[in-house]
Amino acid sequence: MIIGYDGKRAINNMTGLGNYSRLVIESVARTFPASKLLVYTPKLSENPRLAEMRSLHNVEFRLPPPQGFQGSLWRTFGMTNNLRADKVEIFHGLSNELPLNIKASGIPSVVTIHDVIYRRRPQCYNAADRILYDFKYGRSCHNATRIIAVSQRTKDDIVEIYGVSPEKIDVVYQGCDDSFKTTIPTEKLDAIRRRLLLPQRYVLQVGTIEERKNLELTVRAMSAVPKDVKLLVVGRDRKGYLAKVKGLAKELGILSRIDIRHDITFADLPAVCQMAEVVAYPSFYEGFGIPVLEGLESRRPVIAATGSCLEEAGGEAAFYVRPDDPRAMGDIICGILDGSVSIADRIEKGLRHAARFNTSEMADRLMSIYEKTLNSGL
C-alpha cells in the first residue's frame, strides 16, 4: 500500500502534534515494512527527532515542486497533484487537517482529529483562530472518507459540534514513546539529576504554560505541600500566562519553590518523569492527555483533572480532582508523600492500563482503518 501523510507537524514540531505524527509514521512503517510511506511537508528541518524516521527504508519525504504552490498554499491545494502523481492510495491528515480539495481529488482520506478545545474553551483562543480552526477542521471532518478520534470524548465532540455520523468515526488511542517504559538505572538517574540541576524532591507538570493546562491549580495545591518539595514545570510560556502563575506563587509565598524549565529535551523527559514524586496534569480540557500516560508508564502516581478525556488516559490508575479544587489536589499530594495514600496498587494498575496503548496495536488499528477506507467505495 502507498500511504501519504501530512508531515508538517512531524517534521517541524517538537511536542504534541509532532510527537503523535512521528509515532504514527514510525509505528506503521515498522509494523508494515511492505508498505510505502510518503511524508509530504512544505519544508524539511534539522529536527533531531527525525532520526528514527530517516532510518526507515520505507519512508520517503516529499517537498513542493520548484514551480507552483509553496508553503501553506501547497499543503492546502497543490499537494493533491503530487499525491496523484505518486499514485498514493490513501492520504492521512495527522493533525486535524486535509487539503481542501482532497474530496474532489478522488483520493480516499483519513483525518485524525485531536480535539475541538477551541469550541469547549473558547476563552483560550482569539476570535480569528477560532474561526479558522472551525472552518478548516470542520471542513476536514466532512471531506474525509473516515475520521480518527484520539479519544471517545473527542469522538462525541465531533458528532455533537459538526453533525458527523458516529459510524464515520473510529477511536484510536495513541501510545507514548517507548522510552517511558524502560526503567532507568539509579546511577543514570542521579547523573541526569546533577546535570540538569533538578530538585531532590518535586511534583512534575509537563505541558505548554497556558491557561487551559491549569498550572494555577497545582501552584495553589503546593502551598499545602511540605516545603522541601518543589514544583518542576516543563514547558514553554504561551500568551504571557507564566507571569500570572508567578504572581500567584509570589502571593502564596512559594515562588522560590517553583522551578520553570523550557530547555529539558525529550530524551531526558523519561528520567525526569521517573524521578518525580508525583506527576500532575490538571488540564481543564484535552483531546487525550499524553502526559498522564507518560506518568503511568514511568511508574509514578498521577493526578489528573475530571471533566474531559483524562479519565480515559488514566483509567482507574490515576487520582482525579475537579479542576477548581486545589485543596483536594494538595491532600492527595501530601498523602502520597507521607505514605497515608497507598500508591503501589495504583502503579500496578497504571502499567496494566498503559499496556492498552501499545504502539504496534495502534499501527494494526490504523492499517485496518486504511483498508476499511479503501474498501468503502467512497
Domains and CATH numbers, the chain: 2-175+358-374 (3.40.50.2000), 178-357 (3.40.50.2000)
Backbone angles phi, psi at 214, to 5 degrees: 65, 40
3-state secondary structure of 231: strand
Are 301 and 346 in contact by the 8 Å Cβ rule? The answer is yes
Residues 323 and 228: their CA atoms lie apart, in Å, by: 25
Residues 133 and 371: their CA atoms lie apart, in Å, by: 29
**Could you say which residues of the chain have pLDDT below 50?**
378
Q: Residue 377 has what pLDDT?
A: 54
Q: Which residue, 188, 177, 243, 176, is CA-closest to 216?
A: 243
**Direct distance between the N- and C-terminal alpha carbons of the chain, in angstroms, rounded to an integer:** 18
Using a 10 angstrom Cβ sphere, with 0-12 exposed, 13-18 middle and 19 or more buried, the burial of residue 64 is buried
Using a 10 angstrom Cβ sphere, with 0-12 exposed, 13-18 middle and 19 or more buried, the burial of residue 366 is buried
Q: Which residue, 311, 314, 322, is CA-closest to 346?
A: 314
Residues 105 and 179: their CA atoms lie apart, in Å, by: 39
Backbone angles phi, psi at 318, to 5 degrees: -85, 160
Residue whose cell numbers read 499525491: 83
The radius of gyration of the chain's CA atoms, rounded to the nearest angstrom, is: 21
**pLDDT digits 0-9 by tens, 230-244:** 999 999 998 889 999
Q: Which residue, 87, 1, 93, is CA-closest to 40?
A: 93
Q: Which residue, 73, 61, 72, is CA-closest to 25?
A: 61
Question: Which residues fall within 8 angstroms of residue 244, CB to CB, at 6 or more apart?
Answer: 216
Alpha helices in the chain (DSSP H): 8-12, 16-31, 51-55, 71-73, 79-85, 102-105, 117-120, 127-143, 152-162, 186-196, 215-222, 241-252, 269-274, 290-297, 310-314, 326-338, 344-354, 359-374
Residues 318 and 207: their CA atoms lie apart, in Å, by: 18
Residues 196 and 205: their CA atoms lie apart, in Å, by: 16
Residues 135 and 333: their CA atoms lie apart, in Å, by: 42
Residues 62 and 121: their CA atoms lie apart, in Å, by: 36
Element spanning 63, H or E: none
Amino acid at 271: A
Strand partners, 233: 205, 260
Amino acid at 261: R
The angle subtended at Cα 147 by Cα 175 and Cα 125, nearest 5°, is: 80
pTM metric for this prediction: 0.90
3-state secondary structure of 110: strand
